Amino acid sequence: MTDSDDVWKVNRERDGAAEKFESNLPEPGPVGKVFAPVAGFGVTLRNFFKPTVTEQYPDKRDTAMPRYHGRHQLNRYADGLEKCIGCELCAWACPADAIYVEADSNTPDAQYSPGERYGRVYQINYLRCIFCGLCIEACPTRALTMTTDYELAGPTREGLIYEKQDLLAPMGKDMLAAPHPMVPGTVDDDYYKGDVLKVVEEQVDWVRENRPEDETLPENRVSEAARGK
């Protein structure tokens, strides 16, 4: 090894090669000196008597804190209409370019959200998402929120691009699956203000007429008891 290869030479010269290491800790007393070789076991011994914190995942799955940044969810109004209007503000806010949205017009035959516009395509790529939550802050209708679901792993790349049906909130107890008309006499603003609180008979009738097989119709709904069996 030549001098020029010795990269530590400069440091050694600066620090003084022969300088002796001096500890800042106080010198142990005579008893301390006796126990010094086994002092490290003290930590082990102390922990014998503390409660265990090991998570038994996946045998036991703990819930994350309520504000945990987990998988996203596209919410619905009380009558089952989607809150997402396909405005793409989430995609705009996303620093990782993980969200892809395509909007479309609601039509009288297919009303998915209140007002004129709904999100036809909604994708979140969880290989890109950094769970920063900026999309949640950007959403003007509170359509997009985050759940506490943290189990986001999978064997394929495609599988980690979540589509709209993967992200939509599950139907609530009395909700009616979209598409169906808005509550008669309301405009989109009433929904935004939170004035629509439940499904009305006209909406149920519309779905009954257009999709009699729909599982969210009262007559087709499987009761909790039946589901249990």
What are the residues binding other proteins (CB under 8 A)?
85-89, 91-92, 102-105, 115-117, 140-141
Taking the least distance from each CB to other proteins, the nearer of 107 and 220 is 107
What gap in Å lies between CA 52 and CA 220, rounded to an integer? Answer: 48
Distance between terminal CA atoms of the chain?
79
Taking the least distance from each CB to other proteins, the nearer of 144 and 199 is 144
Q: Locate 47 and state its tokens.
A: 């922990």
User: Could you tell me if 84 and 137 are in contact, meaning their C-beta atoms sit under 8 angstroms apart?
Assistant: no
Residue 76's DSSP bridge partners are 82
Taking the least distance from each CB to other proteins, the nearer of 189 and 215 is 189
Taking the least distance from each CB to other proteins, the nearer of 104 and 166 is 104
Q: Locate 73 and state its tokens.
A: 């969810």
Taking the least distance from each CB to other proteins, the nearer of 80 and 114 is 114
What gap in Å lies between CA 114 and CA 192, rounded to an integer? Answer: 9
Query: In whole angstroms, how close is the CB of 21 to other proteins at the nearest point?
Result: 59
Query: In whole angstroms, how close is the CB of 100 to other proteins at the nearest point?
Result: 9
Contacts for 152 with CB less than 8 Å, ≥ 6 apart:
70, 71, 126, 160
Query: In whole angstroms, how close is the CB of 83 to other proteins at the nearest point?
Result: 12
Contacts for 116 with CB less than 8 Å, ≥ 6 apart:
105, 106, 188
Query: In whole angstroms, how close is the CB of 92 to other proteins at the nearest point?
Result: 6
Query: In whole angstroms, how close is the CB of 187 to other proteins at the nearest point?
Result: 8
